[in-house]
Amino acid sequence: MSITHSDKISTSQSSLKTIASLLPYLWEFKARVMLALSLLVLAKLANVAVPLVLKEIVDALNQPQAMLMIPVFLLISYGILRLCSTLFGELRDAVFAKVTQRAIRRIANKVFTHLHALSLRFHLERQTGGVSRDIERGTRGISFLMNFMLFNILPTLLEIGLVMAILINQYDIWFAVIIFITLLAYITLTLVITEWRMIFRRTMNIMDSKANTQAIDSLLNYETVKYFGNEAWEARRYDEHLQSWEKAAIRNQTSLAALNSGQSVIVAIGITSLMFLAADQVIQGAMTIGDLVLVNAYLLQLYMPLHFLGFVYREIKHSLADMERMFSLLDENREIKDKPEAGTLNTQKPTIRFDHVDFGYDTNRQILFDISFDIPAGHTIAVVGQSGSGKSTLARLLFRFYDIQSGAIRINNQDIRDVTQQSLRASMGIVPQDTVLFNDSIYYNIAYGRPDATHEEVYAAARSAQIHDFIESLPNKYETIVGERGLKLSGGEKQRVAIARSILKNPAILIFDEATSALDSNSEKQIQAELKRIAQNRTTLTIAHRLSTIADADQILVMKNGRIIEQGKHTELLAANKTYARMWALQQQAQKLQLIEKHNK
């Protein structure tokens, strides 16, 4: 795969943008950053001074026996400088730790918050495993980038500058020339090959995210995999992603070996040339043995971190690649936004009005056509119809998970697009058809409706949802863990938890979306009575499949293909003898057949 010039420019711009995004987090702790940089400079000055003291020690000990004295002061200075070069480095890391960890925390939380602010459309299309892995790698990359860019690249460049200044000042210019040519060749090789290798790293990241996405998706659908005996099929799909990752990883590793070999050749040639030059100067009497030791010590001090610098540069590029994917999540635009002047919803005796609403999830697929109806304050409106008629879409639009294409949805004459999403959703409670629970305790899942509720209020909500006795019969009672997505509970038990959660929230508006669909007939009657009780004096939208559950609604809307084709009370619709009447007759007939079958058993 070839990389074009425009691709390189785009990658460089993306890298600069990623680095720039970290600067505000550094500036937040500018005092700590300045102190850490000061300690860094002191550590490098001490490190550079060590060979100078070592030269003096060697020259002092290289005197004739009669003149030989132990250079106590120099030896103590050598030890202190060695200690300072390490001590200042450790203090620098300690001072900077808060900056790094706070940045990781802030950015991870920012991405997490942004993901929750994105529309339902994004979350229906996202791949959870891949997003999770992108955030994990991205936060790890932040730590590496902030630490190594500041504390490895900068100090190494500073050290190179100091050493070259000393060599130019005290020795032959050729020492500096050889070091400069070696550094230039080393850095050029590192930059060129690392840029070429980045494509392998990006491929590894993509394949890693895809493999993780597929693995999590498969595990979440564990029962489906078992039902169809597709364990081998899932393993094969997972291995296909790993196979692509393996190829990229092998290329990444072999290209790394080639880079390391090239760097070693350049360093070896540079060191050998310098040692020949130094040895020649000693023979000619232009340099002492101490000078030879000094040059050798500087060579070790330069080329060891320089070799590490190649590793750091590669890892920084890898970190930037990792962070790009995480920061790309922040570039996802919020489809649903509050207006700058958005107010708070008035929830006193709420009246809901759908006013000529048109809506489609895609521009080429319209779902609702000219929908108009009112729900007076304290009344219950039921919506019935075949699957796909647009019933559940009404609830999603009321929560403003999507914005409508034309028309308006108003609560107390306030367009829901003119109020904050927080105040809108705080006023509504829903019992969905497909209840998904957190992998936590039953208590946590009920209390989620109002996290600041007391224990007594949570228990009262559970009693109202007819689930308290069941919970008390469990070994761990309310602390029972429900499992991933609530899979340890039956469909009916999950739905009762959802009902308890909505009761606890105590909203002004209630939405029941097939709220009793997972319950048996006996349980349904008990819950239905409780739902009627909590719906009293609340504005309620009920979406139902079983017509018997909504027969006493104040108004019933019959939908078909995204349009309202009938509306009226139960008796009025039966008398009209149209679609609703036919649906009622079919359900009554099916219920009679079930009773006959049950009686025959």
Fold of 435-506: Rossmann fold (3.40.50)
Query: What is the distance between the terminal CA atoms of the chain, rounded to a whole angstrom?
Result: 69
> Which residues contact residue 483 at a Cβ distance below 8 angstroms, ignoring those fewer than 6 apart?
439, 489
Write the class of the CATH domain 8-330.
Answer: mainly alpha
Classify 259 as helix, strand or coil: helix
Per-residue b or e along 188-206, where b marks 16 or more CB atoms closer than 10 Å to that residue's CB: ebbeebbeebbbbbbbbbb
Q: Over range 270-276, report the average pLDDT.
A: 82
Domain 341-427+507-601 sits in which CATH superfamily?
A: P-loop containing nucleotide triphosphate hydrolases (3.40.50.300)
- pLDDT at residue 2 above 50? no
Please give the DSSP secondary-structure letter assigned to residue 409.
E
- For the chain, residues classed under CATH 3.40.50.300 are 341-427+507-601, 435-506
**What integer pLDDT is reported at residue 191 of this predicted model?**
77
- pLDDT at residue 379 above 80? yes
Q: Over range 11-29, report the average pLDDT.
A: 67
Q: What is the pLDDT of residues 171-193, one digit of tens each?
A: 778 887 887 888 888 888 877 88
Report the percent of the chain where pLDDT is more than 70.
Answer: 83
Average pLDDT, the chain: 79
Strands 380-385 and 539-543: parallel
Tokens of 342: 């958005």
Contact 186, 267 (CB under 8 A): yes
Q: Over range 560-571, report the average pLDDT.
A: 88
Instruction: Pick 108 or 520 by higher pLDDT.
Output: 108
Classify 412 as helix, strand or coil: coil
**What integer pLDDT is reported at residue 273 of this predicted model?**
86
- For the chain, residues classed under CATH 1.20.1560.10 are 8-330
Q: Over range 491-516, report the average pLDDT.
A: 83
**What integer pLDDT is reported at residue 1 of this predicted model?**
39
